[in-house]
Structure 1
Amino acid sequence: MDVGLINGLPSHPLFVHGAAVLVPLTALALVVCALWFSAARRLSWVLPVMGLVTLALVVLTTESGEWLEERVRESALVEEHAEMGSGLTPWAIALFVLTVAVWLLGRGGLRRERDRSGEAGSPAGGGASAVARTASSVPVRVVVLVIALVVAVGAVIQVYRIGDSGAKAAWQDRFSTSRSGAGR
C-alpha cells in the first residue's frame, strides 16, 4: 500500500495534522474515563475505537513520513525528526491497550452495579462476580488511573516534541522574518 501521496501531494502533512489532534484527544478521553468509569460507560465503544483509530493514524503518519524522508534533501533535522517519529508508535499502542482496558473495567463496574440491584439475571443471592468486584476495586482503579496518566502525558509530550522537530526540519532557514515586497 502506497501511503506516500494523496492527490499528487505528500500525504505526511495531512496525516500529521490528524495525529496531532487525535493523540491528545484520545489521551484526554482516556484520563477522564480512567478517573470516572461512568464516563467510560457513557462513551461505550467510542473509547476503544478512538484508541484504535489513533493507533492506525500514527502508523500511517510514520509510514508516510518514512516515504517522504526518502524523497527530501537529507539533513540532520530531518534525521532527528524521523527517529523521533518512530518513537510515537509504542505510545499509541499503549493508548489503545489502555482505552480497551478502561472500557472493559467500566463495563465490569456496570455489571457489578446490576448484580447489586438484582438485574440482568444475576444468580440468587445477588453477589457480584469476583472479576467485577476486583475490576471496580479502589486499588485497581488507582493503578489504572496512574498508568493512564503516565501514558497520556508521555504520548502528548512525544507528539509535541515530534511536531517541533518536524517544523524545524521543514521551516528552519526557509523564510524571512521581515515582510517581502510582494503585494505592495
Structure 2
Amino acid sequence: MTTVHGLPAHVLLVHVIVVLAPLAAVLAIICAVWPAARRRLVWLVLALAAAAMVMTPLTADAGEWLEKRVGPSPQLHTHTQLGDTMIYFSAALLIAALALGFLHVRENRDHSMKPGLHWVLATVVILVSVAAGVQVYRIGDSGAAATWGDQMAEPTG
C-alpha cells in the first residue's frame, strides 16, 4: 500500500502503531500484575498485540516507499533505522501477550500454580511492555524531527 486518497499510507498507518502498541503494552502490564484484570482483558491484549505485529511491517514498508520519494537526510535515516527495529519490539510484545494467555489458561486449569512463576512472567511482561512503549516514542520522535525539524527550528514572523 503506497497512498490512501492521495496521502502517503505511512502517515496514516503509523497512527495505528502509535495507538495499538502502547495500548497493548499498558494493558499487558495491568494483566501481568492484576489477576482480575487478566481474567477480563487477556484476550483483548492478545488481539491488540497481534494487530500491532501485523501492522508493523505494513507500516515499515509504506515508510520505505515514502523514504524513496522524499530523498535522504540524516534525520530520516535515523527514523528509518529506528523504525526497522519495531518489528522486534512488536514480536516481543506479542510473545508476552501469548505468555499472559498461557498463564490465564493455566490458572483456570490448575489453581495451585507456583506464585514465583507468575512474578517472573510479570517482570518480563513489564520490561517488554516498557521497552515497546519507549521504542514507539523514539521512532515517533525521530519521525517528527525528520518531518518537522527544519520548520520548527526557524522562528515564524
Q: CA deviation at 1:44?
A: 4.7
- Native 8 Å contact 1:95 1:151 kept in 2: yes
Q: Provide the aligned C-alpha RMSD in A.
A: 1.5
Structure 1 stretches of 4+ with a deviation exceeding 4 A read none
Cα separation, 2, equivalents of 1:38 and 1:167: 38
- Name which of structure 1's ranges 169-178 and 82-91 shifts more when overlaid on structure 2: 169-178
Q: CA offsets, 1:147-181, max 9 Å, x none?
A: 111111111111111111100100122255324xx
- Residue in 2 that maps onto 1:162: 139
- Native 8 Å contact 2:32 2:38 kept in 1: yes
Unaligned runs of 5+ in 1: 114-132, 180-184
Cα separation, 1, equivalents of 2:28 and 2:59: 21
Between Structure 1 and Structure 2, the one with more helix by share is 2
Amino acid at match of 1:139: G
- Residue in 2 that maps onto 1:70: 68
Given the two structures, how large is their TM-score scaled by the length of structure 2? 0.92
Q: Residue 148 of structure 1 is aligned with which of 125, 136, 141?
A: 125
- Native 8 Å contact 2:28 2:42 kept in 1: no
Cα separation, 2, equivalents of 1:108 and 1:39: 16
Where do residues 53-132 of structure 1 align in structure 2 (5 Å cutoff)? 53-113=51-111
Q: 1:44 to 1:80 in 2, by over 3 A?
A: closer
* Matched positions, count: 156
Q: CA deviation at 1:95?
A: 0.5
Q: CA offsets, 1:24-55, max 9 Å, x none?
A: 11000111111123322212522211110011
- Native 8 Å contact 1:19 1:54 kept in 2: yes
Cα separation, 2, equivalents of 1:168 and 1:82: 12
Unaligned runs of 5+ in 2: none
Q: 1:44 to 1:91 in 2, by over 3 A?
A: closer
- Native 8 Å contact 2:42 2:100 kept in 1: no
Amino acid at match of 1:177: P
Cα separation, 1, equivalents of 2:79 and 2:39: 38
Amino acid at match of 1:147: V
- Residue in 2 that maps onto 1:12: 10
